[in-house]
Every structure is written in C-alpha cells, then in structure tokens.
Amino acid sequence: MPSLACAHAPEKTTSLCSPSRASYLTGQYAHTHGVLRNNEDSAASIPKEIQGRSLVPLLKGNPAGWRTAFLAEYFDPPRYPIPGWQAVRGERWKYIRYTGLPGMDEFYDLKADPHELKNLVADPPVAATLREMKSELERLLKETQAEQHN
C-alpha cells in the first residue's frame, strides 16, 4: 500500500493533506466526502451544499451530538422499472420507504435479523420504534433538504 504521508511533509504524523487522504481512502472527490480543510476551525468556510462536518471531535473521543443514524436514497430513473426508496439505518434498526409504492415499507431489527429476512413493519411490539425511525427519516430528509415522498 502506498504511503499516506504528505509529499510536502512526510515526517508529520498528523495529516497535512486531509482532503487528499480522504479522497485516496474513499475514492471520492472532496466535494463528495466533505473533508475540505485540514483544521477544525474551518467549518465556517465549508459551502452550505456540502452535507458533512468535521470528524475532529469524534476522533478526539467526543461523540456528543454525533449522528446515530444515516439517510440512504435511491432515485428511480424513468427508463428503468426499479422503485425509488428512502431509508434510515441506525445501529440496530433499518426502515425503508419505497417512494412510488405506498404500503410496501420495510422495517428490520438488524441485531436479531442481520440478513433482513423478517419484515417487522406490521409487528405491534415494535410499533413505537417504527414511529421513531419514521420520524428520524423525516428529520434527515429535512436536514439534507432531500425531496420527500409519502
């Protein structure tokens, strides 16, 4: 594996090339992975269309306020018969809403069912958790200004 040290400062143990290193590790451009600066104080200069924030507090062992779930989306292209969906995944639960197929939602307990074989969307014992995940999906869609479907 090639060295991850910066060419202009190979003796440094902390990255002076955070955006480049993140691009190397993720295979994405900086505007996609969100690592745009080398220091924590640069958040004010990050463009508003970038959905991300500094990892420095998390890497320093301060997980307070860090997200516990993430949003995933698939947009149905008009030329293909694949339904679009929006999903939220937490540490234990995963909720999927198909944007063009009302009533086809999926809800899984990833701890008890890691292969997602049993859809719990109509299971009364987990109804409160399902409501929480639906609310989290709506919150994430609003936070990212994503298109919402019901």
* 107 domain residue, yes or no: yes
Write out pLDDT tens, residues 127-139. 999 999 999 999 9
- Most confident among 3-7, 113-117, 145-149 (mean pLDDT): 113-117
Judgement on whether residues 125 and 91 belong to the same structural domain of the protein: yes
pLDDT exceeds cutoff 70 at 19: no
pLDDT score at 12: 45
* 150 domain residue, yes or no: no
Confidence of residue 79 (pLDDT cuts 50, 70, 90): confident
- Residue 38's domain comprises 1-62
Judgement on whether residues 109 and 89 belong to the same structural domain of the protein: yes
- Most confident among 76-90, 101-115, 131-145 (mean pLDDT): 101-115
The three-state (H, E, C) secondary structure of 25-79, written as one string: HHCCCHHHHCCCCCCHHHHHHCCCCCCCCCCHHHHCCCCCCCCCEEEEEECCCCC
Number of domains comprising the chain = 2
Judgement on whether residues 77 and 126 belong to the same structural domain of the protein: yes
Judgement on whether residues 3 and 48 belong to the same structural domain of the protein: yes
pLDDT score at 10: 46
Q: In CATH, what number is assigned to the domain containing residue 134?
A: 3.30.1120.10
Confidence of residue 3 (pLDDT cuts 50, 70, 90): very low
Write out pLDDT tens, residues 21-51. 666 666 666 666 666 666 555 555 666 666 6
Q: What is the mean pLDDT of residues 64-80?
A: 80
